[in-house]
Amino acid sequence: MMNGERLVAIFAAVLAVVILMCGAADGENRYVFVNWEVSYAVRAPLGVAKRVITINGRFPGPLLNLTTNDVAHVNVVNTLDEPFLLTWNGLQMRRNSWNDGVTGTNCPIPPGSNWTYVFQAKDEVGSFFYRPSLGLHAAAGGHGPIRVNNRPTVPAPFPHPDGGDLDVLIGDWYNMDAPRMRAEYLDVGRDLPSPDGVLVHGLGPYEADVTLQPGRTHRLRVHNVGARTSLRFRVQGHALLLVEAEGAYTQQRRYAALDVHAGQSVSVLVTADQRPGPYYLVVSSLFVQPELVGVANVLYAGGRRPKPGNAPLGRGGGDDDGYARSMDEARSVRMNLTCGAARPNPQGSFRYGAIRVDRTILLRNGEAQVAGRRRCTVNGVSFADAATPLKLADRLGVQGVFKVVSGRPERRKRASLGTAVIDARYRYFVQIVFENSLPSLQTWHLDGYSFFVAGMGWGKWTPNARSTYNLVDAIYRSTVQVYPASWTAVFVSLDNEGIWNLRSQDLGRRYLGQETYIKVSQGTMEVPDPRDELPMPSNALLCGKAKSLKLGQA
Ligand SMILES: *[C@@H]1O[C@H](CO)[C@@H](O)[C@H](O)[C@H]1NC(C)=O
Ligand SMILES: *[C@@H]1O[C@H](CO)[C@@H](O)[C@H](O)[C@H]1NC(C)=O
Ligand SMILES: *[C@@H]1O[C@H](CO)[C@@H](O)[C@H](O)[C@H]1NC(C)=O
10 domain residue, yes or no = yes
Summarised one tens digit per residue, pLDDT across range 351-402 is 899 999 999 999 999 999 998 999 999 999 999 999 999 999 999 999 999 9
The span from the CA of 551 to the CA of 116, in Å, is: 20
The pLDDT of residue 390: 98
Residues 199 and 292 in one domain: yes
The pLDDT of residue 545: 94
Residues 143 and 231 in one domain: no
Contact 489, 331 (CB under 8 A): no
For a substitution probing ligand 1, which of 30, 34, 65 has the most ligand atoms within 8 Å of its CB?
A: 65
Distance 114 CA to ligand 2 centre (A): 6
548 domain residue, yes or no = no
The pLDDT of residue 308: 67
Query: 367: helix, coil or strand?
Result: strand
The span from the CA of 224 to the CA of 321, in Å, is: 18
The span from the CA of 73 to the CA of 92, in Å, is: 16
Residues 383 and 422 in one domain: yes
Pairing label, strands 420-425, 442-446? unpaired
Handedness of CA 337, 341, 346, 348 (dihedral sign): negative
Residues 368 and 514 in one domain: yes
Burial 90-100 (b: 16+ CB within 10 A, else e): bbbbbbbbbbb
Pick the range with the lowest mean pLDDT from 70-74, 170-174, 316-320, 385-389.
316-320
The span from the CA of 460 to the CA of 299, in Å, is: 47
Question: Among all ligands shown, which has an atom nearest to the Cα of 70?
Answer: 1
Name the band, by pLDDT with cuts 50, 70 and 90, for residue 109: very high
The span from the CA of 97 to the CA of 447, in Å, is: 9
If residue 532 lies in a helix (H) or strand (E), which one and from where to where? none
Chain-centre distance for alpha carbon 492? 15
Please give the single-letter amino acid code of residue 388.
Answer: T
The pLDDT of residue 522: 95
Closest ligand 1 atom to residue 30 Cα is 5
Residues 214 and 324 in one domain: yes
143 domain residue, yes or no = yes
Pairing label, strands 248-255, 240-245? antiparallel
DSSP string for 273-334: -SSS--EEEEEEESS-SS--EEEEEEEETTSPPPPTT-S--SS-TTS---HHHHHHHHHH-B
Mean pLDDT for the chain overall: 91
The span from the CA of 445 to the CA of 221, in Å, is: 19
Summarised one tens digit per residue, pLDDT across range 190-241 is 999 999 999 999 999 999 999 999 999 999 999 999 999 999 999 999 999 9
457 domain residue, yes or no = yes
Distance 95 CA to ligand 1 centre (A): 26
543 domain residue, yes or no = no
Chain-centre distance for alpha carbon 47? 29
Q: Domain containing 502 — which CATH number? A: 2.60.40.420
465 domain residue, yes or no = yes
534 domain residue, yes or no = no
Name the band, by pLDDT with cuts 50, 70 and 90, for residue 548: confident
Residues 80 and 187 in one domain: no
Name the band, by pLDDT with cuts 50, 70 and 90, for residue 29: confident
Closest ligand 3 atom to residue 157 Cα is 4
Q: Which residue range is the domain that position 261 belongs to?
A: 165-332
* E strands, 225-274, in order: 231-235, 240-245, 248-255, 258-260, 265-271
Residue with CA closest to ligand 1 atom 13: 65
Residue with CA closest to ligand 3 atom 13: 251
The ligand 1 site (C-beta within 6 Å) comprises: 63, 65, 67, 149
Residues 171 and 133 in one domain: no
For a substitution probing ligand 1, which of 31, 69, 147, 149 has the most ligand atoms within 8 Å of its CB?
A: 149
540 domain residue, yes or no = no
For a substitution probing ligand 3, which of 150, 154, 158 has the most ligand atoms within 8 Å of its CB?
A: 158
Name the band, by pLDDT with cuts 50, 70 and 90, for residue 449: very high
The pLDDT of residue 277: 76
The ligand 2 site (C-beta within 6 Å) comprises: 75, 114-116, 539
The pLDDT of residue 27: 53
Please give the single-letter amino acid code of residue 240.
Answer: L
Number of domains in the chain: 3
- Of 208, 198, 207, the C-alpha closest to 233 is 198
Query: 428: helix, coil or strand?
Result: coil
Residues 78 and 38 in one domain: yes
Residues 179 and 142 in one domain: no
DSSP string for 15-60: HHHHHHHHHTTGGGPPEEEEEEEEEEEEE-TTSS-EEEEEETTBSS
83, 115, 149: which is the final residue of a domain? 149
Pick the range with the lowest mean pLDDT from 266-275, 417-426, 543-552.
543-552
Residues 210 and 105 in one domain: no
Give the pTM: 0.93
Residues 136 and 228 in one domain: no
Residues 113 and 239 in one domain: no
Distance 19 CA to ligand 3 centre (A): 24
The pLDDT of residue 312: 62
Distance 58 CA to ligand 1 centre (A): 19
